[in-house]
């Protein structure tokens, strides 16, 4: 919400502005918002005064939130309330005096309230301030640009919407220009204190961020989750900087260093692993209990697709173009993809055709694997449990770094070793990160080129008996 949207007129046509207190202060103050008379009937002048008041109030809000956090353990709650009340009311008096005298700047001096000294930096003049939107408006504008440009998938939209809400809950819906290094570091500090799976735990339902942190959860957010939130914040502020809403990107470079655990280091399957995985009776006889037991490992081996991409396939996703059959990875219906680069065509390896996958797809009605029910927006839940907890152990593979995702690493490794250019490998796998490949490739290579690359996966892990 932009500051001008707070503007209202009294019955005497005098403009005033109303500002909502951040959540971190509202429980110390007996009001949820602050009303400031702008002492003018001129709309243009009212906007200028509104921006000035907003900047100073937001700076004061931030200072008081930091101050209360530092002093709450040392002073009684009533004394904290008294300080905050007197500070805010003192600022309102100074605003009123300055608007009456039509000063161009407002000088706020250090104050000593109830024996507690509270100092803050001198505010800039109106001419030097960056006047920009509230955080909610900045985040909304940023998200809309990403959505319109087609960069975000539906899943990414939902994930980032939650992070945007978290930013506002922690920092308050203050002016974006009022956020500095202190606020960015505070955001990071709070993230590190929040519990893992916070939204799924009924214990935290209805609690404020401060109240949740006060419970001192033993299991906090993972480094991956923290870094994702910091990365989204940095992306939002970079957008704000480019559009002139903020001076600097104070969230850039705040991400935590991450040392991958043994669990996180996914390894490709070796030749001996593949012989174990595809050496079971199911693959020798072609007889299986459930279709996904047989086809999902084979599809992973010969396509490198993500597990959820394969589990959500429908009959219409197995397509023939000319003499080439391919799998269409898309967002049709209820399907989800990781990102826009994931939308692609993956040619079918001749081994899959030889084993009867095309006939299997043609005989299906709707989804290829209807036995895999959707759980939390994904169809891969039960396939993951079966493969990682049951099948891979049954085959005698005990290395926890080898999971279904290892098929993607296997395909990437084999194609690279066969001198397939990394851009083509990226097109087949649907990579997005430029460090993995070089951007988006799906529309850049013909099916024929992709088919020739796929056929270089010269893997024959078993022979039908």
Q: Which tokens go with 257?
A: 């260093």
Confidence at residue 260, expressed as pLDDT on a 0 to 100 scale = 57
pLDDT digits (tens, 9 = 90+) for 27-37: 677 777 778 88
User: Which of 74, 93, 109 is where one domain is finished?
Assistant: 109
Range picked from 71-85, 90-104, 137-151, 276-290 for highest mean pLDDT: 276-290
Other C-beta atoms closer than 10 Å to the C-beta of 301 total 22
Is residue 73 scored above 70 in pLDDT?
no
Question: 299 and 399: one domain?
Answer: yes
Tokens of 214: 């006060």
Same domain membership, residue 296 and residue 191: no
Give the whole-number percent of the chain exceeding pLDDT 70.
Answer: 84
Which pLDDT belongs to residue 31? 74
Task: Yes or no: say if 437 and 425 are a contact pair by the CB < 8 Å rule.
Answer: yes
Span 346-357, mean pLDDT? 95
C-alpha 427: how far from its chain's center?
Answer: 24
253 domain residue, yes or no: no
Let me know: does 226 contact 192? Beta carbons within 8 Å.
yes
Domain-located, residue 123 = no
**Both 161 and 79 in a single domain?**
no
User: What's the gap between Cα 217 and its chain centre?
Assistant: 22
Q: Which residues contact 65 (CB under 8 A, 6 or more apart)?
A: 22, 24, 25, 172
| Structural domain count of the chain | 3
Question: What does the pLDDT look like over 116-146, one tens digit per residue?
Answer: 444 433 333 333 444 468 888 899 889 888 8
Residue 460 forms part of a structural domain: no
pLDDT band, residue 78 (cuts 50/70/90): confident
Asked if the model's pLDDT at residue 8 lies above 70, the reply is yes
279 and 238 in a common domain: no
Q: Give the lowest-confidence range in 70-84, 156-170, 172-186, 368-382.
A: 70-84
* Inside any domain, residue 250: no
The string of pLDDT tens digits covering residues 393-444 is 999 998 888 999 999 999 999 999 999 999 999 999 998 643 343 334 345 7
Residue 139's nearest CA partner among 156, 123, 162, 118 is 162
Is residue 405 a part of any domain in this protein? yes
Tokens at 420, concatenated: 């397939």
Residue 50 in domain: yes
Tokens of 220: 């906090």
420 and 305 within one domain: yes
Q: Is residue 362 part of a domain?
A: yes
Q: How far apart are CA 88 and CA 317, in angstroms?
A: 62
Is 402 found in the same domain as 301? yes
Residue 394, domain extent:
271-454
Per-residue pLDDT, 319: 95
The b-or-e profile of 113-135 (16+ CB within 10 A means b, else e) is eeebebebeebeebeebbbbbbb
Give the length of the chain. 465
pLDDT at residue 279 above 80? yes
Average pLDDT (32-50) is: 78
Domain end: 199, 226, 242, which one? 242
* 3-class state of residue 347 by DSSP: strand
29 and 142 part of one domain: no
Q: Is residue 98 domain-resident?
A: yes
Both 144 and 60 in one domain: the answer is no
**Do 22 and 97 have their domain in common?**
yes
Q: 173-177, 366-370, 436-440 — which is least confidently predicted? A: 436-440
Chain centroid to Cα 139, Å, comes to: 12
Q: How far apart are CA 340 and CA 331, in angstroms?
A: 9
Q: Do residues 232 and 335 share a domain?
A: no
Alpha-carbon gap, residue 380 to 311, rounded angstroms: 6
Q: CATH no. for residue 435? A: 1.10.443.10
Q: What is the mean pLDDT of the chain?
A: 81
- Do 71 and 156 share a domain, yes or no? no
Evaluate if residue 261 carries a pLDDT over 70: no
Judgement on whether residues 447 and 301 belong to the same structural domain of the protein: yes
């Amino acid at each position: 919400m932009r500051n001008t949207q707070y503007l209202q007129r009294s019955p005497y046509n005098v403009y005033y502005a109303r500002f909502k207190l951040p959540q971190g202060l509202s429980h110390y103050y007996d009001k949820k918002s602050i009303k400031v008379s702008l002492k003018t009937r001129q709309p243009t002048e009212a906007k200028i005064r509104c921006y000035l008041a907003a900047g100073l109030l937001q700076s004061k809000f931030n200072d008081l939130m930091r101050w209360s956090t530092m002093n709450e353990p040392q002073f009684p709650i009533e004394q904290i309330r008294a300080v905050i009340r007197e500070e805010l009311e003192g600022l309102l008096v100074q605003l009123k005096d300055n608007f009456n005298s039509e000063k161009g700047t407002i000088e706020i001096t250090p104050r000593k309230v109830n024996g507690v000294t509270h100092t803050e930096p001198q505010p800039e003049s109106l001419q030097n301030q960056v006047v920009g939107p509230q955080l909610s408006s900045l985040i909304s504008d940023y998200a809309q640009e990403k959505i319109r440009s087609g960069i975000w998938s539906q899943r990414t939209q939902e994930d980032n919407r939650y992070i945007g809400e978290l930013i506002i809950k922690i920092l308050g819906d203050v002016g974006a220009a009022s956020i500095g290094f202190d606020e960015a570091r505070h955001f990071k500090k709070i993230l590190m204190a929040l519990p893992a799976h916070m939204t799924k735990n009924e214990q935290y339902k209805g609690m404020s961020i401060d109240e949740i942190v006060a419970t001192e959860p033993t299991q906090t957010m993972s480094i991956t989750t923290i870094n994702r939130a910091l990365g989204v914040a940095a992306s939002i502020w970079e957008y704000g900087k480019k559009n002139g809403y903020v001076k600097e990107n104070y969230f850039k470079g705040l991400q935590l260093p991450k040392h991958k655990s043994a669990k996180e280091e996914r390894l490709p399957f070796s030749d001996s692993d593949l012989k174990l995985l595809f050496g079971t009776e199911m693959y020798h006889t072609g007889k299986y209990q459930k279709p996904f037991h047989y086809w999902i490992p084979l599809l992973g081996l010969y396509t490198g697709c993500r597990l959820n991409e394969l589990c959500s396939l429908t009959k219409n996703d197995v397509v023939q173009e000319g003499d080439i059959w391919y799998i269409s990875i898309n967002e049709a219906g209820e399907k989800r993809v990781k990102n826009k680069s994931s939308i692609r065509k993956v040619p079918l390896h001749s081994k899959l055709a030889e084993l009867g996958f095309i006939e299997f797809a043609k005989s299906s009605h709707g989804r290829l694997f209807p036995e895999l029910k959707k759980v939390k927006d994904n169809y891969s839940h039960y396939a993951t449990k079966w493969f990682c907890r049951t099948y891979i152990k049954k085959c005698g593979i005990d290395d926890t770094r080898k999971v279904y995702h290892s098929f993607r690493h296997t395909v990437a490794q084999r194609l690279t070793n066969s001198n397939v250019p990394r851009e083509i490998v990226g097109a087949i796998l649907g990579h997005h990160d430029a460090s993995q490949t070089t951007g988006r490739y799906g529309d850049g290579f013909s099916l024929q080129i992709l088919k020739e690359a796929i056929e270089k996966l010269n893997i024959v892990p078993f022979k039908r008996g």
